[in-house]
Chains A and B, each alone.
Chain A
Amino acid sequence: MAVDLETREAGWQQDLERAGLLRRLLRARKWHGADWWFVAIASVMVVAFIVLALFPGFFAPHDPREQVGPRFLAPGEKPDVESLIIPGDSGITSLLDIVGDERVPTAVVEGTPSSQAARDEADRITQVLQDRGEDVRLRLRVQRHDTIQEALDELVAGDAVIAVASSAAFDEVADDYPSLDVAGPVFEGQTLSSFLLGTNQIGQDVLSRLIWGTRIALIIGFSASFFSLFIGVPLGLFAGFTGGKTDRVLTVFMDSLYAFPGLILAIAITAVLGPSIINVIVAIAVLYIPTYYRIVRGQTLSVKESLFVEAARSLGAKSRVVLTRYVFPNVIPSVAIIFSVNIADAILTGAGLSFLGLGLPPTTPDWGIDLARGQETIQRASWLITFPGVAVMLVVLAFTMMGEGLMEIFNPKLRDR
């Protein structure tokens, strides 16, 4: 009877264990309340950033290093470019479609750069065609008008095949000419569409640079943290476990490293090593080795003295077994938590370094570099400094929130560190 009861109890426990991981994670919110939500929200953000960093080419609308639009275009503002206006039913999509022997009648407005732009592009196309060995030319017969309405009227009347005008000017009167369309920008490579987050001082797309910058930020954050983890954790384990002189020497060394102001040390290291992403990672990693070392050494010292280690020794366990099966698994949870907060720190330091012009080559799409450049033109184009700043803040917030939340959940004893 008693055995029967106990087996039933054990079965019930196994049922609980069989509940899926996802369901258990979901249920955990009842225990941990706000911390659970912190971790959940932060994890979603972290995952989103990681996806962005893995596939920046998929999400970024433009090449982050190319000039893709006019300079200093505000977020959402339409660029004002010379554009090709055609009757909606003409089938013309670019100047290439009207190449031929005849001079093409082109309506422009007197006193605007439109006629010059049209002729320049026509000459360029002619040059390209002749370079290809085709004996054709594109020649325009420019017909000047006083107002854009006159020019467009001529186009509607059929006296001109195309018109060239600035897109802003056309937009103002576009409603009056429903039969006319914008075929595209006159110059190949220019765009008529607006940029979600604007463009910077050399016409690069801010959004694309942000997305590609995520990759740089996460590479620096993760690599630097892994680097310091792989050096700091074994050193801490070793020092804490062996104790004695080695421990003292290592600890003094690590403490002196820890006592340095972080950014200053990183600046010194990158200044010596020279600009490259590897050097930035090394510099930041050196900065954070003592963090892991101290935590792991402290935990090792306390676990080493715990009764279960003594009990294991009394059963003949060797030092290697004690270290790998007793000390290490009991130390590693606090390392995992520090790791997450550490990534946030490393990203921030990395951005700080490139903001100061150290570390990364200047063409890199990096938040720190964008911040430094944006700062020069903050009064003219505040979006250049706002969006990279927000990006840094969000990433750091996500990782810190996740780390701190996990710390609250898994290791309340570490709370006051």
Chain B
Amino acid sequence: MVVLINDDKIKSIAEICENTWEPLYRYIYYRVQNREEAEDITQETYVKSLSYPKFKEIGRDGYMAFFKTVAMNIIRDRWRKSKIMGINTNIDSIPEIEASTDDIADTTNRQLFIKRSLSKLNEDQRKVIELRIINGYSVSETARIMGIKAGNVRVLQYRALKNLVVIMDEKEKLP
């Protein structure tokens, strides 16, 4: 069967791709938190979406939601495969697509929740997380800034994160 797409349709697809890659990338990055993986998944999302036979039947307003759904499925697949390979990832910790339609509100609430949880840690634990994870310093740089040994940085951040997980779990159980 020969499928014909007129110029307007093609132009429309091109425009949507051009206009959506940045928010789509941000959506993916928010979940994977590294550029390499976010770039791969963004590209794969477009390849899969544009190959979808019924893509042209999706309304203009539905493109972004469709891309996000495809991206989310890719993330889930990749992380499932990782689990088989022994790299476990808590897939359930990823927010559901349905719950992520209002991205800004969802993200803001989530960030507020994390900040409040971090504020419950003691000063050293909070500082090591801030330096290592938020500011992105290496273990040796963090050790130098905090005036402790590199081994102690690893132990401190490990304990800090374990405490943080407990705090977050308790907060999530609250009504």
Asked if A and B bind, the verdict is no
Residues of A at the B interface (CB closer than 8 Å) are none
Residues of B at the A interface (CB closer than 8 Å) are none
